[in-house]
Chains A and B, each alone.
Chain A
Amino acid sequence: MNILLQTILDAAAAGIMWYCVGFGFAFGQGENPNKFIGDAMFGLARYSTHYTGSGTGRWTDFFFQWAFCATAATIPAGAVAERFNFNAYLGYSMFIAGFVYPVVAHWAWCPQGWLGFATVKPLLDTGYIDFAGSGVIHMTGGLAGLIGAAMVGPRLGRFDADGNPVEMPGHSAILVVLGTVLLWFGWYGFNPTSMLAIDTYAYANVVGRSAVTTTLSGAAGGIACLLGGFIRRRGWDLVGLCNGILCGFVAITACCHVVEPWAAIICGVVAGIWFDFLCWVLLKLKIDDPLSAGPMHFGTGMWGVFFTGLLAKQEYITEAYNRTEDKMYGAFYPHSNGKLLACQIIGILAIIGWVGGTMTIFFGIFKFFGALRIPPEVEEMGLDRSKHGGSAYNGGGMGVSPSAPGNDVMRNQQQPSIKVLPMNG
């Protein structure tokens, strides 16, 4: 119940904050626009005369960019699940949607920004390419989640007295699969549509290619994680497969429009391997990230941004951005001047610095007042019963009877087993 409420609330809080201040900070170009932050269109004031992302006064732009903002706001929910104070949660989702994310979006996607590729004065005369937001959205959300998870501490019982991790399984693989395939479906809106237009030959090409590279990267990431899990543990891991698919998507989000299909496969495979490695690192550092949101979004997002600097193809860049300057393509193509890679790295560092700084201060304030984490008794009982008026499931657990079709399957006939199963005992 708790996490369901949190994720729905993210969309709502993001909507309001995006309307009030976020959209303005991200895309507002006032009288004297600056490179750091937007300064117009707060509350959609004077909307019809200001540039909105692909034109002036276009309502679709506000709506489309809101969807991205809501994504960034909801990513940290998984990292801090099961132990986060609800007030802190509400606070940070408004903070991310209203300030942290829009500033990064301004840098990378507003024509006035200092970082982005399609800006009036691009960085190093080249600019940072991030098509649908591996850096802007996934790194931002992932790093915020990681900082939150680190500061709020692990769930009770997650690490035993010797510091070894104790497995805490989720409660329904069906929901994980449902979520993954829905995310796959929705990602076709996230990536290809970020072109914002399809009505010319070049744009149709870019959109189509983005859909293809997205598919291949997700598929490759999934298979890589699956095989990696099999090699390490001799079992076929469903959650690993789903995570791998999502990692592939996160990584390709930056460059789906400018890489070739074979490059997308490489991107996905490396994303999967990198993700597994980061998960291991997190456990070694005793950071408890229930959904691995940090490694997935921050880690693979970072890889995706970096990969763009390696294998972005000149011809495709021209198609998408209409820029034909020489040699500003991926570093692995011959005769590249490497500036694109440099911009990608600068972008990564800037995002880490900004998000890291703001979210550390923000979470730090809550932690100082003791308002970051829920009390241990509440955590033991489960947030649903203590804070949300009861369980999400009738009867207390997702128990399903071996029912015949035609029976009432939602009527549970048994109580759930306890939620924490120590493995080695």
Chain B
Amino acid sequence: MSVPAISSCEQEVYNLVSDWNLAATICKKYDCGVSASVCVLTYLAKRERELSLDFSQTARAEVAISLDVAYVLFSAYLVFGPMQLGFTLLCAGAIRSKNSMNVLMKNILDACTCAIGFYLFGYAFSYGHKSHKTSNAFIGDWNFAHSYTTDVSSDPDPVAPGDFPTQGWHAWLFQWSLCAVATTIVSGAVAERCTFGAYLAYSFFISSFVYPVVAHWVWSPDGWLSAFNTGARGGYARILRTGAIDFAGAGVVHMTGGMAALMGAWIIGPRIGRFDASGKVNEMKGHSATLVVMGTLLLWFGYYGFAPGANLTIATMSGAVVVSRVAVNTTLSAATAGLTTLFVRYFQSATWDTVLVCSGCLGGLVSITAGCAVVEPWAAVLCGLGAAVVFISSEYMVLYKMKIDDPVSAVALHLFCGLWGLIFPGLLAKPHYVLGVYGDNGFGTTVKAAGKYGILYGGHGQVLLCQFIEALVICAWVGTMMGAFFYIFKVAKQLRVHVDQELAGLDVTKQVVDQYDGGGSTAPQQPMERAAFGPGATTSAFYSNGDDAGSYGRMRPELGRE
């Protein structure tokens, strides 16, 4: 073997740097005829610049990712904290006080069960996919109990972060908070008559299976309805090459919850006394408007995490613009809906109805949820206007025509306003915004050329059709799943509380019912010592209330004897 000749350049440079490979590199790049040391110095200076550029790029990339993480986390806190609290208080205020403690408990509890269910199964079914692979279009199949999140979060490479931005810890927290919203919607619809066990089971079921599947269809990059499913087909989505536009979940969260609420309220049946023998509706007012208003404002506050946070990124200019626009649209829609409801009700009955206005504002929030990123502010105002009309008419239809007792109008609010909200981008999605948020891919051409935007802007209608498809499949899937679920519980007589218990109020202890359960049970049990409000009791939320719940902290054995 002959040794390659070493040039005088390499030899001199080697004397300086003591590394043959480095010497060869330097000599290839520079002409070392003048002086080897000048060569080496030039090389070193250039290398230093490259490295510091890398470093600052790395640092910038890290800060950008961290900013997004902080933003998503904070949005999740907003969705969970104020929104969950708001809905809890709203439910409590909108029903009779003798059941308020029960509904408070259900609301807190579904946050807990949702966390466990979504952790074990839900997140995997929504977004789980093996690294560098795709899951199937129907359901996710990876990352059960955070097995993959733990993995993906342990390989720090800021410039090539892999799945961390979309599958990291913060992602789970935000998705969980959305799931908690969908789960808790039903608590209001079945309030005052649902058994605790059924509710526990329901919240686990919907958060670990029903909701995640819908989320997978619409939001996972692998989902069949998703506007983000652009990997395989040359850059455009699977359905009509468009995919459904559901930015923060009018369909995924609100229609899912609303449809489940419809199934629940319908199958469980109306509260005793709600409809009299001739089918006339009796009014059953809530016990505290203060709580309803407080809940509404908290929900509105938390919505600023729900809608803008759905962008999942704020660290770029375009991301920041989208987030801000969403916040503006959200505000306008809620405000318009509230005002419209106010005036419509005044026109109907010459009253300024506080509670209805609250619901109106919420309807505005729900309906802008799908299109908040892609409509203009004046369109958001129209959306709110439509939401108010939709809400009032659907509330009337559900109660008077369908004869379904829904104490907090959850069905009208979430299902019907959600439906309106889902349709809305099909009407008024602006082309420029659509391409900004979902990418500039039409039928092998640009969004504008393909008409992939709202029909009132001159679009070709594929967006509208996709929205209809999404609405239809959500109703079908959730309706079937939750219908079957509630029906099974009903058949097993585990869905609804005993008549006596419902009349006494759910806050009074369960022991009352056991003593008089159709005569089938054994001798009346000893009334257990139980606090009205302390470890081990479920009794009234209030010490004294004017309703017919009777006393608390004491057994009411005489109840069944009347």
Instruction: Assess whether B541 is in contact with A399, with CB atoms less than 8 Å apart.
Output: no
Residues of B101-132 contacting chain A, CB below 8 A: 101-102, 104-105, 107-109, 111-116, 119
B134 at the interface (CB under 8 A from A): no
Instruction: Assess whether A211 is in contact with B351, with CB atoms less than 8 Å apart.
Output: no
Interface-central residue, B66, B172, B290, B291, by most chain A CB under 10 Å = B66
B339 at the interface (CB under 8 A from A): no
Q: Which residues of A sit under 8 angstroms from B158, Cβ to Cβ? A: 200-201
Among the 9-residue stretches A4-12, A145-153, A221-229, the one with 4 or more Cβ atoms under 8 Å from chain B is A221-229
Residues of A196-215 contacting chain B, CB below 8 A: 198-205, 207-209, 211-212, 215
Instruction: Assess whether B538 is in contact with A423, with CB atoms less than 8 Å apart.
Output: no
Instruction: Assess whether A234 is in contact with B80, with CB atoms less than 8 Å apart.
Output: no
Residues of B495-548 contacting chain A, CB below 8 A: 509-511, 528-547
Instruction: Assess whether A415 is in contact with B544, with CB atoms less than 8 Å apart.
Output: yes
A238, A262, A402: the one contacting B547 at CB < 8 Å is A402
Instruction: Assess whether A406 is in contact with B76, with CB atoms less than 8 Å apart.
Output: no
Cβ distance A222 to chain B, nearest Cβ, rounded Å: 4
Q: In chain B, what residue has the closest Cβ to A396?
A: B544
B102, B112, B353: the one contacting A245 at CB < 8 Å is B112
Q: Which residues of B sit under 8 angstroms from A204, Cβ to Cβ? A: 62, 65-66, 69-70, 168, 170
Among the 9-residue stretches A65-73, A167-175, A342-350, the one with 4 or more Cβ atoms under 8 Å from chain B is A167-175
B493 at the interface (CB under 8 A from A): no
Among the 9-residue stretches B31-39, B85-93, B431-439, B467-475, the one with 4 or more Cβ atoms under 8 Å from chain A is B85-93
Report the separation of the CA atoms of residues A238 and B101 in the bound assembly, to the nearest whole angstrom: 7
Instruction: Assess whether B547 is in contact with A208, with CB atoms less than 8 Å apart.
Output: no
Q: Which residues of A sit under 8 angstroms from B356, Cβ to Cβ? A: 405
Among the 9-residue stretches A181-189, A326-334, A357-365, the one with 4 or more Cβ atoms under 8 Å from chain B is A181-189
**Number of residues from A at the complex interface, CB < 8 A:** 84
**Number of residues from B at the complex interface, CB < 8 A:** 94
Q: In chain A, what residue has the closest Cβ to B78?
A: A185
Report the separation of the CA atoms of residues A371 and B316 in the bound assembly, to the nearest whole angstrom: 61
A40 at the interface (CB under 8 A from B): no
Instruction: Assess whether A405 is in contact with B289, with CB atoms less than 8 Å apart.
Output: yes
Q: Which residues of B sit under 8 angstroms from A211, Cβ to Cβ? A: 73, 76-77, 169-170, 173
B108, B170, B542, B547: the one contacting A172 at CB < 8 Å is B542
Instruction: Assess whether A173 is in contact with B533, with CB atoms less than 8 Å apart.
Output: yes
Among the 9-residue stretches B18-26, B145-153, B217-225, the one with 4 or more Cβ atoms under 8 Å from chain A is B145-153
Instruction: Assess whether A238 is in contact with B538, with CB atoms less than 8 Å apart.
Output: yes
A122 at the interface (CB under 8 A from B): no
Instruction: Assess whether B172 is in contact with A212, with CB atoms less than 8 Å apart.
Output: yes
Report the separation of the CA atoms of residues A74 and B410 in the bound assembly, to the nearest whole angstrom: 39
Instruction: Assess whether B100 is in contact with A174, with CB atoms less than 8 Å apart.
Output: yes
Interface-central residue, A199, A200, A215, A414, by most chain B CB under 10 Å = A215
Residues of A138-185 contacting chain B, CB below 8 A: 167-174, 177-178, 180-182, 184-185
Instruction: Assess whether B547 is in contact with A229, with CB atoms less than 8 Å apart.
Output: no
Cβ distance A282 to chain B, nearest Cβ, rounded Å: 11
Q: Which residues of B sit under 8 angstroms from A198, Cβ to Cβ? A: 66-67, 69-70
Report the separation of the CA atoms of residues A31 and B48 in the bound assembly, to the nearest whole angstrom: 39
B63 at the interface (CB under 8 A from A): yes
B510, B538, B544: the one contacting A399 at CB < 8 Å is B544
Instruction: Assess whether A177 is in contact with B104, with CB atoms less than 8 Å apart.
Output: yes
When each residue 317-355 of chain B gets 1 if its CB lies under 8 Å from chain A and 0 otherwise, what string results? 000000000000000000000000000000000011111
Instruction: Assess whether A192 is in contact with B73, with CB atoms less than 8 Å apart.
Output: yes
Cβ distance B168 to chain A, nearest Cβ, rounded Å: 6
Instruction: Assess whether A171 is in contact with B543, with CB atoms less than 8 Å apart.
Output: yes
A325 at the interface (CB under 8 A from B): no
Q: Which residues of B sit under 8 angstroms from A171, Cβ to Cβ? A: 533, 542-543
Instruction: Assess whether B65 is in contact with A201, with CB atoms less than 8 Å apart.
Output: yes
Report the separation of the CA atoms of residues A223 and B533 in the bound assembly, to the nearest whole angstrom: 19
Instruction: Assess whether A216 is in contact with B288, with CB atoms less than 8 Å apart.
Output: no
When each residue 262-297 of chain A gets 1 if its CB lies under 8 Å from chain B and 0 otherwise, what string results? 100100000000001001000000000000100000
B97 at the interface (CB under 8 A from A): yes
A390 at the interface (CB under 8 A from B): no
Report the separation of the CA atoms of residues A399 and B542 in the bound assembly, to the nearest whole angstrom: 7
A356 at the interface (CB under 8 A from B): no
Cβ distance B116 to chain A, nearest Cβ, rounded Å: 6
Q: Which residues of A sit under 8 angstroms from B292, Cβ to Cβ? A: 405
Instruction: Assess whether B100 is in contact with A240, with CB atoms less than 8 Å apart.
Output: no
B82 at the interface (CB under 8 A from A): yes
Instruction: Assess whether A232 is in contact with B542, with CB atoms less than 8 Å apart.
Output: no
Residues of B202-259 contacting chain A, CB below 8 A: none
Instruction: Assess whether A401 is in contact with B546, with CB atoms less than 8 Å apart.
Output: yes
Report the separation of the CA atoms of residues A242 and B88 in the bound assembly, to the nearest whole angstrom: 13
B451 at the interface (CB under 8 A from A): no
Known contacts: A219-B115, A235-B510. The answer to whether A185 contacts B355 by CB under 8 A is: no
Known contacts: A215-B115, A402-B547. The answer to whether A239 contacts B534 by CB under 8 A is: yes
Instruction: Assess whether A398 is in contact with B65, with CB atoms less than 8 Å apart.
Output: no
B377 at the interface (CB under 8 A from A): no
B96 at the interface (CB under 8 A from A): yes
Instruction: Assess whether B287 is in contact with A400, with CB atoms less than 8 Å apart.
Output: yes
A177, A182, A208, A220: the one contacting B69 at CB < 8 Å is A208
Report the separation of the CA atoms of residues A330 and B107 in the bound assembly, to the nearest whole angstrom: 36
Report the separation of the CA atoms of residues A203 and B59 in the bound assembly, to the nearest whole angstrom: 13
A205, A233, A242, A276: the one contacting B530 at CB < 8 Å is A233
Known contacts: A236-B538, A421-B554. The answer to whether A216 contacts B533 by CB under 8 A is: no
B81 at the interface (CB under 8 A from A): yes
Report the separation of the CA atoms of residues A167 and B537 in the bound assembly, to the nearest whole angstrom: 10
B269 at the interface (CB under 8 A from A): no
Report the separation of the CA atoms of residues A239 and B535 in the bound assembly, to the nearest whole angstrom: 6
When each residue 382-425 of chain A gets 1 if its CB lies under 8 Å from chain B and 0 otherwise, what string results? 00000000000000011111111111011001111101010110
Known contacts: A170-B533, A216-B119, A405-B355. The answer to whether A185 contacts B97 by CB under 8 A is: no
Instruction: Assess whether B534 is in contact with A173, with CB atoms less than 8 Å apart.
Output: no
A78 at the interface (CB under 8 A from B): no
Report the separation of the CA atoms of residues A181 and B104 in the bound assembly, to the nearest whole angstrom: 11
B112, B541, B544: the one contacting A223 at CB < 8 Å is B112
Instruction: Assess whether B289 is in contact with A222, with CB atoms less than 8 Å apart.
Output: no
Q: Which residues of B sit under 8 angstroms from A232, Cβ to Cβ? A: 536
Known contacts: A204-B66, A238-B538, A406-B289. The answer to whether A261 contacts B156 by CB under 8 A is: no
Instruction: Assess whether A262 is in contact with B290, with CB atoms less than 8 Å apart.
Output: no
B196 at the interface (CB under 8 A from A): yes
Instruction: Assess whether A188 is in contact with B112, with CB atoms less than 8 Å apart.
Output: no
Cβ distance A334 to chain B, nearest Cβ, rounded Å: 18
Q: Which residues of A sit under 8 angstroms from B542, Cβ to Cβ? A: 171-174, 398-400
Report the separation of the CA atoms of residues A312 and B119 in the bound assembly, to the nearest whole angstrom: 20
B282 at the interface (CB under 8 A from A): no
Instruction: Assess whether B112 is in contact with A218, with CB atoms less than 8 Å apart.
Output: yes
Instruction: Assess whether A178 is in contact with B510, with CB atoms less than 8 Å apart.
Output: no
Residues of B346-394 contacting chain A, CB below 8 A: 351-356
Report the separation of the CA atoms of residues A315 and B151 in the bound assembly, to the nearest whole angstrom: 11
Cβ distance A326 to chain B, nearest Cβ, rounded Å: 18
Instruction: Assess whether B97 is in contact with A182, with CB atoms less than 8 Å apart.
Output: no
Instruction: Assess whether A215 is in contact with B173, with CB atoms less than 8 Å apart.
Output: yes
Q: Which residues of B sit under 8 angstroms from A416, Cβ to Cβ? A: 543-544
Report the separation of the CA atoms of residues A91 and B218 in the bound assembly, to the nearest whole angstrom: 58
Cβ distance A355 to chain B, nearest Cβ, rounded Å: 26
Q: In chain B, what residue has the closest Cβ to A413?
A: B546
A241 at the interface (CB under 8 A from B): yes
Q: Which 3 pairs show the lowest CB-CB distances between chains A and B?
A: A185-B81, A208-B169, A169-B533
Please list the residues of chain B having a beta carbon within 8 angstroms of any beta carbon in chain A.
Answer: 62-63, 65-67, 69-70, 73, 76-77, 80-82, 84-85, 88-89, 92, 96-97, 100-102, 104-105, 107-109, 111-116, 119, 145-146, 149-150, 153-154, 156-158, 161, 164, 168-170, 172-173, 176, 196, 285-292, 351-356, 509-511, 528-547, 551-554
Pairs across A and B, CB under 8 Å, 10 listed: A167-B529, A172-B541, A204-B170, A233-B537, A235-B511, A245-B108, A401-B545, A402-B287, A403-B285, A410-B290
Additional A-B contacts beyond A219-B113, A402-B287 (17; CB < 8 A)? A168-B531, A177-B88, A184-B111, A185-B81, A185-B85, A188-B73, A188-B76, A192-B73, A198-B67, A201-B156, A216-B119, A220-B116, A226-B112, A239-B534, A260-B150, A403-B287, A405-B289
